[in-house]
A and B are shown apart, each in its own frame.
Chain A
Amino acid sequence: MKTRSTLRIRRPGPLTTVQDHGRWGFQHLGVPVSGAMDPLSFRVANALVGNPWTAAVLEVTLGGFEAEFLGPTAAALAGADLGFELDGIPLGPGTSFRAEPGSVLKARGRRGGCRAYLAVAGGFAVPEVLGSRSTYLPARLGGLEGRALRQGDELHAYGPPFPPAWGPGRHAPPELLSPLPSPGEPIRLEVVLGPQADRFTQRGLNTFLGERFGVSPQADRMGYRLEGPRIEHAGPADILSDGIAWGAVQVPAHGRPIVLMADRQTAGGYPKIATVVRTDIPALAQAVPGDTVIFEAISLWEARERLAWQTLRLRRWTEGS
């Protein structure tokens, strides 16, 4: 496919990678799914530039990012508020904008959240590996040479720089913006209990659903290790390794939960007390060490309903505006 020169990285910040919807369907070969940590912001950024929802974007972590556009293009930002400015003009999350050759996009300082998504019309052009352009760093799979972006990297994008009938300054509706943690307020995460909730005592379940947990410094694309009171197991904290879902909350022998995220391993041997529902993954993906979370159990059917409504809202907004 034809590509165009689009962006040069001046400063990647702590971690900037190419991500898309993820590498689904290869877990039976041990290939982790990876993909955008915040699936809602990823979709919103793509929608704002008229892309199909699976187009590759940049996931910018925490800030310190600066890049120069090499050609005119439709672009959009969603997710964390990292204080982005285009040639000095502020850009909030969930906004589309027009970049000219030489335009400089800069993150001036984090105001909230953890991960921002930069989409350009057509999506970033990197080879597709096993059906996805997502970067999985531990195996150097996908993305740009399987690695994080570096200073001087030049990225191309597919197709024409502007979609038909596109305009800058479009804003995503508030209900489609990922919630960013507010200081002092715990992040409420809804979970479906199981698959191994029966491996915990009633006291352990009460701790899990009643107490606050803090995001530890060991929080990355693979998973978020949480700190807090010990969740009591009903027996040994060891099961025969089985498959791991996105948002699975596993509890090793030390009793502190780990929520498994985009780069989760495909299988593991710790009991999983619950699974964070898909519609609350974005909120956790925007958490940074020091933020606190509380868990609340809902039914499988409530979780499905929330996902269906979010998908419908996304679709109506994308098609209708």
Chain B
Amino acid sequence: MTAAPWERPRILPCGEAALTVEVGDAIAPEIHERVVALARALEGIRGVIARVPTYRSVFVEYDPLEVSYEALALVVERAWSDLTRSPPSVSSQRVIEIPVCYDPEFGPDLEEVAQRHGLTPAEVVEIHTAPTYRVYMLGFMPGFLFLGGLSPRIHTPRRAEPRARVRRVRWGSPAPRPGCTPSTARVGGRSSAGPPCGCSIPNASPRPEPCPAWAFGSEPSTRPPSAQ
């Protein structure tokens, strides 16, 4: 695994109505910048239904009766040449502070994570709140954040058996990608903390922008503030 984008992207068909463009094979800001820039380059193309930036690839859903795989592959490869000539500048430094509570009720796995690494729960909390995490992608469930930047000192494998239900919002820490779970979900990651207030997508209005700028442009970073 290297932290730089590949020389050429891999354009992989996902059936006849979607494709994935892989640009590297690591979780690294340099690769993610390229992912975001590529997702932006695919904006406004007729037939493109969704663009999902992920850690190291852009997933593109399209109407194959409006635009062909070949035409999209051309767009991707042309955009790639442009991006190679003038690499994208680092996206925004916006930081979102998320209040979190590490009480057992909200962080059912905190004790286990601490024991596994020979730390006290307070030390885990300190390590967990220290970095500023990068938001690499949203997915899995509405608003679930896939983050990068967790300290290797608390990397913990996924649960062998997913939890049947996780309540409201939690911070998970499957190494090296902590996540934040909204609403109710079946998850395999670890829940070491949760914010005392829920944050979920409202069922009705206000209607979010279909493609908020930060989803593709200026990725915010996020960090849990120090424990209270």
> What is A's interface to B at a CB cutoff of 8 Å?
24-32, 127, 129-131, 138-142, 145-146, 191-192, 194-196, 240-248, 265-268, 272, 275-278, 300, 303-304, 307-308, 311
Contact partner of B12 among A24, A195, A246, A247, CB < 8 A? Answer: A195
Whether the Cβ atoms of B20 and A28 lie closer than 8 Å is no
Tell me the complex Cα distance, A192–B19, Å.
11
Over the window 16-29 of chain B, the binary record of Cβ atoms lying under 8 Å from chain A Cβ atoms (1 yes, 0 no) is 11111010010100
What is the CB-to-nearest-CB distance from B62 to chain A, in angstroms, rounded to a whole number? 10
Whether the Cβ atoms of A127 and B201 lie closer than 8 Å is no
Whether the Cβ atoms of B138 and A29 lie closer than 8 Å is yes
Chain B residue at smallest Cβ distance from A249: B15
> What is B's interface to A at a CB cutoff of 8 Å?
12-20, 22, 25, 27, 39, 49-59, 61, 64-65, 68-69, 137-144, 146, 177, 182-185, 200-201, 203-204, 207-208, 210-211, 215-216
Give 18 pairs: A residue, B residue, CB < 8 Å, sorted on A.
A24-B50, A25-B49, A27-B139, A28-B211, A28-B216, A29-B138, A30-B144, A130-B207, A138-B183, A141-B203, A194-B12, A240-B27, A241-B140, A243-B14, A272-B14, A275-B15, A303-B16, A307-B17
Chain B residue at smallest Cβ distance from A195: B12
Tell me the complex Cα distance, A26–B22, Å.
20
- The 6 residue pairs across chains A and B that have the minimum distance between CB atoms: A243-B59, A267-B139, A275-B15, A195-B12, A303-B16, A245-B14
Whether the Cβ atoms of A139 and B16 lie closer than 8 Å is no
Main secondary structure of the interface of B (DSSP, over half): loop
Whether the Cβ atoms of B142 and A129 lie closer than 8 Å is no
Give the one of A25, A130, A240 with max B CB within 10 A: A240
Q: If A241-B54, A241-B139 touch, does A130 touch B59 (CB 8 Å cutoff)?
A: no
Whether the Cβ atoms of A28 and B52 lie closer than 8 Å is yes
Q: Which residues of A contact B65 (CB under 8 A)?
A: 304, 307-308, 311
Q: Which residues of A contact B12 (CB under 8 A)?
A: 194-196
Q: Which residues of A contact B27 (CB under 8 A)?
A: 240
Whether the Cβ atoms of B61 and A27 lie closer than 8 Å is yes
Chain B residue at smallest Cβ distance from A278: B17
Whether the Cβ atoms of A266 and B61 lie closer than 8 Å is no
What is the CB-to-nearest-CB distance from A161 to chain B, in angstroms, rounded to a whole number? 27
Q: If A24-B49, A25-B49 touch, does A130 touch B208 (CB 8 Å cutoff)?
A: yes
Whether the Cβ atoms of A192 and B20 lie closer than 8 Å is no
Whether the Cβ atoms of B18 and A243 lie closer than 8 Å is yes
Whether the Cβ atoms of A277 and B201 lie closer than 8 Å is no
Tell me the complex Cα distance, A19–B68, Å.
28
What is the CB-to-nearest-CB distance from B188 to chain A, in angstroms, rounded to a whole number? 9
What is the CB-to-nearest-CB distance from A140 to chain B, in angstroms, rounded to a whole number? 6
Whether the Cβ atoms of A28 and B50 lie closer than 8 Å is yes
Tell me the complex Cα distance, A27–B53, Å.
9
Whether the Cβ atoms of A27 and B142 lie closer than 8 Å is no
Tell me the complex Cα distance, A242–B22, Å.
9
Q: If A31-B201, A241-B55, A307-B64 touch, does A266 touch B16 (CB 8 Å cutoff)?
A: no
Q: Which residues of B contact A30 (CB under 8 A)?
A: 138-144
What is the CB-to-nearest-CB distance from A298 to chain B, in angstroms, rounded to a whole number? 9
Whether the Cβ atoms of A138 and B184 lie closer than 8 Å is yes
Whether the Cβ atoms of A192 and B183 lie closer than 8 Å is no
Whether the Cβ atoms of B144 and A275 lie closer than 8 Å is no
